[in-house]
Structure 1
Amino acid sequence: MSADYSFVADAMKQAVPWVKTSGVEFPEVAGDRVVAELPDAAETRNHVGGPHAAMIFGLGETASGAVAMAAFAPHLGKATPLVARSEIAYKKLALGVLRAEAVLGRPADEVVAELDAGARPEFPVNVTVTNAEGVTTAEMVVVWTLKPNR
């Protein structure tokens, strides 16, 4: 039996107002992988007609946050997920609807074991952003931490 992650999309839209405002949707959500999509909107484009870099970064970071929420939802009463650092590489001009695939870079049980041992664990989420044709337009790594609630 697989876990139910249907709560993640609504939770992200409630917890992070930008997600709802930007129109990000979550067509696929699992415990270690999320796909998020950003619609093409004229008001979010840059000077060359594609989504502004801030929108691309926001999509990738949002997808990574959805992975953190899905992977660690049972533990959010004892820790708060926060971004520790991130890096993005813009590979090709992005045009149209974008898709970000975010994948948890460490097994969740290892991260939780560190948290339970009193540490403030970090875990990477690897994100690939593609256009409607499936061409990679950006790659990023978002390193998250679970900050123990005191």
Structure 2
Amino acid sequence: MNPYDMIRAHMMRTIPFATHTGVEITRITDGEAEAILPATPETQNHIATPHAGAVFTLGETASGAAMAGAIAPILLECRPVAAEASIKYLRLAKGQLTATGKTSIPGAEALSALKAEGRIQFDVNVSITDETGELVNEMTVAWHVKSG
């Protein structure tokens, strides 16, 4: 099993709220990740669109997976914390959602800073599309990562 698959499996086991909402991480690479939120009655709101809380959980999960992918070689030696997040609800979503997170800096830069300074802060930008492929949400999560 490659390190990214190991991170994905670990995150799916250790983030029970994301699992409870039905979020599934489908891909992790160096500084990028993808997660889905299936369309279910439990994740919908009163107008039959994805509930804002479930959408936020989807985006935050994708951001955490992208962050973890960026620092994969030393992830177990670090303490990452989501320090701030913002989300824009651009239009009503239809059906299953897909969130794609990308770190604002390359993984190599994050690793170098962590090794040199023992901490780093960076954003993960997340785009969320619905089953039609339309962009429905944009999210930014600021991650603070401390080594040791």
TM-score with structure 1 setting the length: 0.89
Residue 67 (structure 1) aligned with residue 54 (structure 2): no
The 1:103/1:61 distance shift into structure 2, 3 A limit, reads: same
Partner of 2:16: 17
Q: Equivalent residue of 1:121, what SS?
A: strand
Question: Is the 1:80–1:147 contact (alpha carbons within 8 Å) kept by the matching residues of 2?
Answer: yes
Question: Is the 1:28–1:35 contact (alpha carbons within 8 Å) kept by the matching residues of 2?
Answer: yes
Shift of 1:51: 1.1
Q: Equivalent residue of 2:133, what SS?
A: coil
CA distance in 1, matches of 2:19, 2:103: 23
RMSD: 1.6
Q: Give every structure 1 segment of 4 or more consecutive aligned residues whose post-TM-superposition deviation is greater than 3 Å.
A: none
Shift of 1:38: 0.4
Higher-helix-fraction structure: 2
Q: Equivalent residue of 1:139, what SS?
A: strand
Matched residues, percent identical?
37
Partner of 1:102: 101
CA distance in 2, matches of 1:142, 1:69: 13
23-32 or 94-103, which moves further after superposition? 23-32
CA distance in 1, matches of 2:54, 2:18: 11
In the comparison of the two structures, how many residue pairs are matched?
Answer: 147
Partner of 2:27: 28
Partner of 2:80: 81
**Structure 1: gaps spanning 5 or more residues:** none
CA distance in 2, matches of 1:77, 1:13: 16
